[in-house]
Structure 1
Amino acid sequence: MYKIMIIEDDAKLREQMSQILSSYGYQIVAVQDFHKVEERFQESKPDLIVLDINLPYYDGNYYCRIFRRHSKVPIVITSARNSDLSQIMSIELGADDYIVKPFPVELFTTKINAMIRRTYGDYAQDTLSIRNEVDYKLVAGGLRLDEKSFKIATNNMVIELSKNEFKLMKVFITKANEVLTREELLENLWDQSDFVDDNTLTVNITRLRSKLSELGYDDCIKTKRGVGYVFDI
């Protein structure tokens, strides 16, 4: 049974989330004492966190940053803040997804179930078995992508990628010089592009471009306006 930690100060919404996710068989840890959020996180060791932004004492972005110092647990932000800047900030701090309130129940449960499935379920298990069979690296134009460590390297430098950055980089390397639509990239990241904010892809592309630039590969992810991207290397 997967354990989900809900950090939401609206008691009614917190209870609704708890009931909905419990009906899917998840074990729920609902934070009510916001003086002890970090302590509850350390004690409960959740498999996924649902995190609000507007919280007492410290906001959700603060906790997102704190959690990322200790864990790679999936973090799904739920917030009434619908600006691009707010979503970009949360993802930059380590969130895996961002759902704008108010949201349909179906959207919420689909995203949570998909995140659990990708991280711990069939897809994750398939990937794990492949990694156990062979420790190989994908190579393109002097770049080496390590599937075990999520690191990308040149002869002189190594940079660690986030889970989503790694997924994007893997697609770009395996389909170098091919035009990839935004829909194809979204499907590789979240399996169902219908339930993903297009802005989230843009944020991850921007972060990946920045890391490639650090390695000396400037402007190798080119935008094809109205279509998508091409990894030109």
Structure 2
Amino acid sequence: MDKILIIEDDPKLRKYIKQYLQAYDFEVETVADFDQVLAKVEEYSPDLILLDINLPGFDGFYYLKVLRRKFHYPVIILSARSDEGEQIRGMEYGADDYVTKPFSMGVLAAKIHAVLRRANRRTEETSREFGEFKLLHDSMKLLYQNMAMELSKNEYRLMNCFMSNAGRIVSREQLLEALWDNQTFVDDNTLTVNITRIKKKLGEYGLQHVIMTKRGVGYVFDPQNR
């Protein structure tokens, strides 16, 4: 079930959107305390955000810019500002769509479905996911609960191999093959050094044991081991 977070200051509209989307089998949460918008986003981890522009305190464009720096959730703007310049501004700041008020709930639901489909296709093409881990292929970053770890090229290749074989033993031969690129000689010591670096980075997030050594056999990536 897809999770939608509504950031809208009109309580009647907020309630109406929530009830409508719940009838379409979405899980829906709303923001009521606008001093805690970003904390709510981080806590709820939505699949999509509906973001009003006219909010108390900071406006929606401010939150959109902050969200784009910290998270990767799709965002649809809801706004009474219908002029072209505002719509262009929203898209340039990273919104996935812009819906002007008043709007048809049927149209909003259709746009939500379309944005989620695009987001799912992008995820399949540009990342690998397992549990709370997401490996971004284009930037070689590892996300854990939306916190980003920078990886080197070799660390990225090893994590890609581990995540594609999660829960299974991966031999050192398989890992050496993952590092080999026909340009750089990779020896057993290089492999050991890179695995040690990955474990150290994971350890900074309290994840010291997600990569376990099976002596004489290889390694197991298991996110359940913390």
TM-score range, shorter chain: 0.5 to 0.7
- Equivalent residue for 1:149, pick from 138, 144, 155: 138
Report the AA paired with residue 44 of structure 2.
S
Deviation at 1:118, TM superposition (A): 2.2
- Which secondary structure does the structure 1 equivalent of 2:82 belong to? coil
> How many equivalent residue pairs?
133
- Which secondary structure does the structure 1 equivalent of 2:21 belong to? helix
| Alignment match, 2:41 | 41
Q: Over residues 172-193 of structure 1, what are the superposed CA-to-partner deviations in whole Å (9 max), with x where a residue is unaligned?
A: xxxxxxxxxxxxxxxxxxxxxx
Using structure 2 for the length normalisation, give the TM-score: 0.54
Residue 58, structure 1, aligned to residue 58, structure 2? yes
Shift in CA distance, 3/59, structure 1 to aligned 2, threshold 3 Å: same
Report the AA paired with residue 82 of structure 1.
S
Shift in CA distance, 130/76, structure 1 to aligned 2, threshold 3 Å: closer
Paired residues for 1:83-162 under 5 Å: 83-120=83-120, 124=121, 128=124, 149=138
Specify the structure having the higher radius of gyration (Cα).
2
| Structure 2 unaligned spans of 5+ | 129-136, 140-226
Using structure 1 for the length normalisation, give the TM-score: 0.53
Q: CA separation in 2, counterparts of 1:94 and 1:108? A: 18
- Which secondary structure does the structure 1 equivalent of 2:50 belong to? strand
Deviation at 1:128, TM superposition (A): 2.8
Q: RMSD of the alignment, in Å? A: 2.4
Q: CA separation in 2, counterparts of 1:5 and 1:76? A: 10
Shift in CA distance, 81/131, structure 1 to aligned 2, threshold 3 Å: closer
Report the AA paired with residue 92 of structure 1.
E
Report the AA paired with residue 43 of structure 1.
E
Q: CA separation in 2, counterparts of 1:30 and 1:24? A: 16
Give yes or no for contact 2:126–2:138 (8 Å, CA) kept in 1: no
Deviation at 1:149, TM superposition (A): 2.1
Report the AA paired with residue 87 of structure 1.
Q
Q: CA separation in 2, counterparts of 1:103 and 1:75? A: 17
Report the AA paired with residue 138 of structure 2.
S
| Alignment match, 1:177 | none
Q: Over residues 201-228 of structure 1, what are the superposed CA-to-partner deviations in whole Å (9 max), with x where a residue is unaligned?
A: xxxxxxxxxxxxxxxxxxxxxxxxxxxx
Q: CA separation in 1, counterparts of 2:13 and 2:4? A: 15
Q: Over residues 86-120 of structure 1, what are the superposed CA-to-partner deviations in whole Å (9 max), with x where a residue is unaligned?
A: 11111111111000100111111100111112222
Q: CA separation in 2, counterparts of 1:63 and 1:130? A: 25
Q: CA separation in 1, counterparts of 2:138 and 2:106? A: 34
Q: CA separation in 2, counterparts of 1:55 and 1:111? A: 22
Q: CA separation in 1, counterparts of 2:82 and 2:89? A: 12
**Moved runs in structure 1, 4+ residues, more than 3 A?**
129-132
Of all paired residues, the percent bearing the same amino acid is 44
Report the AA paired with residue 128 of structure 1.
E
Q: Over residues 61-101 of structure 1, what are the superposed CA-to-partner deviations in whole Å (9 max), with x where a residue is unaligned?
A: 00000100111210000101001111111111111100010
Residue 69, structure 1, aligned to residue 65, structure 2? no
Residue 8, structure 1, aligned to residue 8, structure 2? yes
Deviation at 1:130, TM superposition (A): 10
Shift in CA distance, 149/7, structure 1 to aligned 2, threshold 3 Å: same
